[in-house]
Amino acid sequence: MPIQYSEELRLFRLATPNTAYFFHVNEGGFLVHDYYGKTLPICDLRYLSARAHKASFSPQSADLTTTPETAPVEYSCNGTGDYRISALQIREVRGNASTDIRYVSHKIYPGKPALKGQPATYGTEDETTTLEVLTRDDVTGAEVTLYYTVFEQYDAIARHATVTNTSDYEMNLERVYSLCCELPFGDWELCHLYGSWAKERQFERKELPHGITAVESKRGSSSHHHNPFAALVKKNTTEDAGDAYGFNLVYSGNFSIQVEQDYDGDLRLLMGINPTDFGWKLEPGESFETPEAVSVYSAEGLGGMSRTFHKLYRNNLCRGPWKNAKRPLLINNWEGTYFNFNEEKIYNIAKQAGELGVEMLVLDDGWFGARNHDKAGLGDWFVNEEKIKGGLPLLSQRIHDLGMKFGLWFEPEMINPDSDLYRAHPDWCLQVENRPLSIGRTQYVLDMSRKDVRDYLFDCMDKILKTTQIEYIKWDFNRNLTEVASFLLEPCRQKEIFHRYVLGLYELLDRLLTAYPDLLLEGCSGGGGRFDPAMLYYSPQIWTSDDTDAMERLTIQYGTSLCYPTSSISSHVSVCPNHQTKRTTPLKTRGDVALAGSFGYELDVTKMSDEEKEEVKGQIAEYHKYYELIHFGDLYRVIPPNESECAWVYVSEDKSEALLTFVCVRFRVQSRRAVCFRGLDPEKIYADEEGKVLPGSAWMNGGVNNVKSMQDGTSFKIHLTEVK
């Protein structure tokens, strides 16, 4: 029974294969959290939530059934004695912001309800069970429903909340998080992913101080700078063992992850829309639905946690025909040509790449309007016939005649002041009247909360997709939001725009995919500035970083793998010296690193030497050989990237095959001798490609010892197959 309720104890137990989550309804109707961790049978765990009532400074609820300041709760409220971070704050019509919700009823049912207009994980009635708990604030008439869905196969729980105004007056939501999770005293550390452009998702692990620690974005997108992911681990948790609690918000806008460690060492984590610059007015009868947050618990360390996220996202978040289909191996012209191309140059790149085995040509920025540089043209989504003579249909046809697919770049949410669109509709971008508009990459941001703007964008894309055979779209987004105001909303609703922007984006993505269900979308935001599960719902692969240097990619792809599956991590072989770092790395290493992702090329292949072209053919053969193993296998991060090395292993689900990749970043005389496999069956016998045959236990404990022969920037792979 994935979700059980004990009538006698008024206690809920939510179970996944290896985890359990307990909470109960106390005498006063408060939802009190008891336990989250390794699986336990249903039993009376209510004692675990008992916390001392300290003093008059820790007020008790008027009915004396709880001390809000110390009680672990399912959804913390503001203004009624809980001084820690609160998930919910509602300003009611009389102007105060005290909120207090109590249990009313609950429902348990198979399946998982979809969120309205927002991406989320999904599951059939066989795969998922949902608990809905209805609570109510009798004073304000706010009804809050908490949703918990457990997955039959994965150690994951998806959560979100809705707030409905059942009163006769308006109310204003000021904070409405998706998830509140309480964990008891321990040696807690916080893991999260920070970064910047070309340096996305750098892994950081830090001891948690007392007080509040926050990881947030208020840029209008999930951002390069912080990712809506955090893990809480114990001091002794490693990659392979120990408690790891991972949390990820399925949202592409302003997010907030707050963790408070109170005076007693107990933790509360909140995850949801960032309350800064947020508000939502609820008229009588209206509801607000939060984005979804996913939590994963693993007793097998960070590695176990990551593998659960990977499987869940591959199977129950990504959707459409491409979620598990083999993706076309692509070449993108961006680093090969930037804006300097015409149809012949693109055709020649496609032709040459096709001869080497590449399956799709992606035409990047610069094919439309007056887009000969990044200062003009965004918004004018019609082909520039001076550059693409004969237009897109002809170019696409010629590329298809080569036996290849054709992909196209768009940046729908943006507008250059130097564009016909801006000249016609200067009111369509986000702006504050009389305030000069900040500019980023010479562009402004369209007001995606407006239906007329979305209709225009859809029509432009639709016209092109109707007339040109296009299998793939790269959806870019190259600046963050400023002067966030819309001409169409009344002043008291301007605080809703950040969220309405994101909802507008989802609506447009959904509309496009509904009209063109076979389209493969690749997300992008100046590299990986919007790499989040919400975008993965629409685009099963995301351009991971504009930094294509293989050595830099080690840390970027490592951090990304904490939460996101390999199949989503778009990764290309580019030219050397690398355009971002000027570093030269062997083509082999560039290929080995790019293989740990959704593989492709991004260079002018017509400029490659014959020797390099031969090597590319070999890489493409390897890409096909290892595709299933890499995309659907389990990832084990053997050596996290450091100044001298990095290694990882993919193991097939049935443990009959494995691939280890080792990269020597900088050779050290006093370096390790061997690198070990992980995740094999110790009892099974495996052979490498040179005929060495050993039991899995030997490959995992003795390892392979060719590490000493490496040089700076070189790499090797060892492929094992089971000997029956």
**Residue 197 touches ligand DGJ, criterion: CB under 6 A:** no
Size of the site for ligand DGJ (CB under 6 A): 11
| CB-nearer residue toward ligand DGJ: 476 or 645 | 476
Q: Which of 475, 501, 537, 543 binds ligand DGJ (CB under 6 A)?
A: 543
Cβ-based nearer residue to ligand DGJ, 266 or 547: 547
Q: How far is the CB of 339 from ligand DGJ (least distance, A)?
A: 8
User: How far separated are the first and last CA of the chain, in Å rounded?
Assistant: 38
Select 127 or 476, whichever has its Cβ closest to ligand DGJ.
476
The minimum distance between CB 330 and ligand DGJ, in angstroms, equals 12
- 185 burial via Cβ count (<10 Å: 0-12, 13-18, 19+): exposed
Stretch that binds ligand DGJ, among 59-67, 420-428, 519-527, 614-622 (CB under 6 A): 519-527
Stretch that binds ligand DGJ, among 228-236, 294-302, 306-314, 524-532 (CB under 6 A): 524-532
Interaction between residue 368 and ligand DGJ (CB under 6 A): no
Q: Which of 409, 501, 537, 626 binds ligand DGJ (CB under 6 A)?
A: 409
CB 524 to ligand DGJ: min, Å = 5
Q: Tell me how far apart the alpha carbons of residues 346 and 353 are, in angstroms, rounded to a whole number.
A: 11
Contact 135, 117 (CB under 8 A): no
Whether the Cβ atoms of residue 620 and residue 598 lie closer than 8 Å to each other: no
Non-local CB neighbours of 271 within 8 Å, separated by 6+ positions:
177, 178, 179, 181, 228, 230, 247, 249, 255, 256, 257, 293
Active-site choice (155, 380, 546, 634): 546
Q: How far apart are CA 513 and CA 517, in angstroms?
A: 5
Report the residue number, 14 or 360, with the smaller CB distance to ligand DGJ.
Answer: 360
Question: Does residue 547 bind ligand DGJ (CB under 6 A)?
Answer: no
What stretches of 118-273 adopt beta strand conformation (E)?
128-137, 142-151, 156-165, 171-183, 188-194, 202-207, 211-216, 226-234, 244-250, 255-261, 267-273
476 is catalytic: yes
State whether residue 212 is helix, strand or coil. strand
Residue among 100, 364, 622, 645 that touches ligand DGJ (CB under 6 A): 364
Closer CB to ligand DGJ, 73 or 519, in the complex: 519
Q: How far is the CB of 367 from ligand DGJ (least distance, A)?
A: 11
**Is the preceding peptide bond at 577 cis, omega within 30 degrees of 0?**
yes
Angle at 189 between CA 182 and CA 291, to 5 degrees: 50
Beta carbon nearer to ligand DGJ, 323 or 579? 579
Q: In the block, which residue shows the tokens 């294509």?
A: 548
Instruction: For ligand DGJ, give the closer residue by CB, 302 or 414.
Output: 414
Q: Of 58-66, 453-461, 523-531, 617-625, which segment contacts ligand DGJ by CB under 6 A?
A: 523-531
User: Look-up: residue for tokens 């992008």?
Assistant: 524
Q: Which residue shows structure tokens 């429903």?
A: 145
Shorter beta-carbon distance to ligand DGJ: residue 439 or 492: 439
Stretch in the footprint of ligand DGJ (CB under 6 A) among 269-277, 305-313, 348-356, 520-528: 520-528
Exactly one of 92, 137, 143, 546 binds ligand DGJ (CB under 6 A); which one? Answer: 546
The CB-side HSE value for 699 (13 A sphere, CA atoms) comes to: 28
343 binds ligand DGJ (CB under 6 A): no
Could you tell me the smallest distance in angstroms from the CB atom of residue 546 to ligand DGJ? 5
- β-pairing verdict for 330-332 and 360-363: parallel
β 211-216/255-261 pair status: antiparallel
Q: What track of x and - describes contact with ligand DGJ for positions 459 through 488 (by CB under 6 A)?
A: -----------------x-x----------
Residue 334 lies near ligand DGJ (rule: CB under 6 A): yes
Three-class SS of residue 35? strand
- Single-letter amino acid, residue 91: R
When asked if residue 447 is in the footprint of ligand DGJ (CB under 6 A), the reply is: no
Site residues for ligand DGJ, 263-282, by CB under 6 A, read none
Q: How far is the CB of 275 from ligand DGJ (least distance, A)?
A: 30
Instruction: Identify which of 449, 571, 424 has the alpha carbon closest to the alpha carbon of residue 507.
Output: 449
Q: From the candidates 82, 243, 380, 476, give the one annotated as an active-site residue.
A: 476
Residue 458 C-beta: closest distance to ligand DGJ, Å: 21
SS (H, E, C) 501-566: HHHHHHHHHHHHHHHCCCCEEEECECCECCCCHHHHHHCCEEECCCCCCHHHHHHHHHHHHCCCCH
82 is an interface residue for ligand DGJ by CB under 6 A: no
| Stretch binding ligand DGJ (CB under 6 A), from 522-530, 551-559, 575-583, 714-722 | 522-530
SS3 649: strand
Helix (H) or strand (E) segment spanning residue 686: strand 685-687
**Segment contacting ligand DGJ (CB under 6 A): 289-297, 521-529, 618-626, 662-670?**
521-529
The binder of ligand DGJ chosen from 2, 275, 504, 526 (CB under 6 A): 526
Residue 275 CA to residue 88 CA, distance in Å, equals 10
Q: Is 524 in the site for ligand DGJ (CB under 6 A)?
A: yes
The amino acid present at 474, given as its one-letter code, is K
Assess 223 for contact with ligand DGJ (CB under 6 A).
no
Q: Give the shortest CB-477-to-ligand DGJ separation in angstroms.
A: 9
Closest by alpha carbon to 557, among 587, 593, 592, 532? 593
549 is a site residue for ligand DGJ (CB under 6 A):
no
Nearer to ligand DGJ, 476 or 496 (CB): 476
Q: Is 600 in the site for ligand DGJ (CB under 6 A)?
A: no
Nearer to ligand DGJ, 297 or 409 (CB): 409
In the bound state with ligand DGJ, the residue whose beta carbon lies nearer, of 74 and 364, is 364
How deeply is 375 buried, as exposed, middle or buried, from its count of CB atoms within 10 A (0-12, 13-18, 19+)? middle
Using CB atoms, what's the residue nearest to ligand DGJ? 365
If one asks whether residue 365 binds ligand DGJ (CB under 6 A), the answer comes out as yes
Closest to ligand DGJ by CB, 180 or 473:
473
DSSP state letters, 465-494: HHHS---EEEE---S---S---TTS-GGGG
The helix/strand/coil state of 395 is helix
- Interface with ligand DGJ (CB under 6 A): 334, 364-365, 409, 476, 478, 524, 526-527, 543, 546
Residues noted as catalytic: 476, 546
